[in-house]
Amino acid sequence: MNQPGDDKERVSDESALKLCQRNYTEGLKILFDRYYNSLVIFSHAYTGRLEISEDIVQQIFIKFWENSHASNIHCSVKSFLFTSVRNASINYLNKNKTYQKILQNYLAENDIVNEDEEAIEDLELAKAVEEATNKLPQKCRQIFRLVIFEEMKYQEVAQYLGISINTVKTQLRRAYASLRKSLEHLLLFTLLLFF
């Protein structure tokens, strides 16, 4: 994903950390620009809630800033950020029973997302998902979008579209089966690399 010419503009994480240590918020801004999105998405895999994840990640950046002053960061900047976000997200799950116990137990021992910013920021993935969703029959696609992206409950979708809950379930099953097939190559890649 690196463009030629990117290198010379890119301030390394280590240099950004040094800036932070010298009290320059510019250093923190560089890391924020570089990792904020990825960290939020990473955290979201655990919390399932965007605003919670944004909170968590912001806290971690502040913690990072404070730690950088005390020279408490001994691993790479990236590992520090991702590990801290992961721990904070799992902590959140343990404290709040709003999200499911099953996912909780599962996520605590299995990372289902990787830390690689590029993989998460991957435009190809976004494109593939977009294409795959567009291939779904119209009704199926609509239901899928409402449930997955708009986060509506089955009941709400059924009411909204004037259909039965069973239809919602059937269509969703169909959508996932189709997406799984379309995105199989991407999934295999991920499974090989990160499990």
Partner 1 sequence: MKKNIPDSILDIIYAVLNDSQTESQEKQLETWLNEDAENRELFKEYLSLHQKIKSTRLKDGIDRKKAWKNIEKKVKKHDSYRIQFRNKLVKYAASLAILITLGAGLYVLVEKEQPPQKTSYDELITPRKNQALLTLSTGEVVEINKKIKKYFNEPNATIIKDDTNNYLQYRQANQQKQASAEPVYNTLTIPRSGKYKLILSDSTVVWLNSETTLKYPVSFTGKERMVQLEGEAYFEIAQNRETPFIVETNGMRIEATGTSFNVMAYSEDKKIEATLVEGRINVYTEDQHRNVEPGKQASFQREQKELSINSVNTSYYTSWVQGVFKFNNTRMREIAKRLHRWYDVNISFRDTIAPELRFTGVIDKNESIEKLFRVIEATDKVELTVKEKEVLVSKK
Q: Smallest distance, Å, CB 134 to partner 1?
A: 13
Q: What's the alpha-carbon Rg for the chain, to the nearest Å?
A: 20
Q: Smallest distance, Å, CB 195 to partner 1?
A: 7
Q: Smallest distance, Å, CB 145 to partner 1?
A: 9
Asked if residue 146 lies in contact with residue 163, where contact means CB atoms within 8 angstroms, the answer is no
d(CA 75, CA 93): 25
Asked if residue 82 lies in contact with residue 42, where contact means CB atoms within 8 angstroms, the answer is yes
d(CA 16, CA 24): 9
* Contact residues: partner 1, CB under 8 A: 4-5, 7-9, 12, 14-15, 23-26, 28-29, 32-33, 36-37, 40-41, 44-45, 48, 50, 54, 57-58, 61-62, 65-66, 69, 98-103, 106, 110, 112-113, 120, 125-126, 129-130, 147-149, 151, 153-155, 169, 172-173, 176, 179-180, 183, 186-187, 190-191, 195
